[in-house]
Amino acid sequence: MENKEFLTQQLLWIVISIGISITISWFVPFPLSWVVIIGVFLVLSFYMRYRMMKKMGSGVGMFGSLSSPFSGNSVNYYCMSCGTKHREASCPRCGSKMKRVG
């Protein structure tokens, strides 16, 4: 699930980069367009690195303090209507979405 999301994001970035290159080479004459494109990509990669670092930082913080349902095996849900222990969005036994954390 995470891998697929990562791949989609990578693909999106490739599409965006191609779009940016084409757009720039349309408006800026050839030798200069390369300089502009390289400059734009440098800024973009810095921005991405910054965003990734921020994301990772907050991820670590969340892992330490809050117990998110994605952060480990410590959280279990119990169905409110039949009491089945599960980790799905809805109960696999009766389909109820009502659940409590245990």
CB closer to Zn ion, 21 vs 84: 84
Which range of residues in 2-10, 58-66, 70-78, 86-94 is near Zn ion by CB under 5 A?
A: 86-94
Count of Cβ atoms closer than 10 Å to residue 21 Cβ: 16
Distance CA 45, CA 13 (A): 10
Q: How many CA atoms lie within 13 A of 4 on its CB side?
A: 1
CB closer to Zn ion, 37 vs 91: 91
Residue 99 in contact with Zn ion, rule: CB under 5 A? no
Residue 37 in contact with Zn ion, rule: CB under 5 A? no
Both tokens of 23, joined, read: 């757009």
Residue 86 in contact with Zn ion, rule: CB under 5 A? no
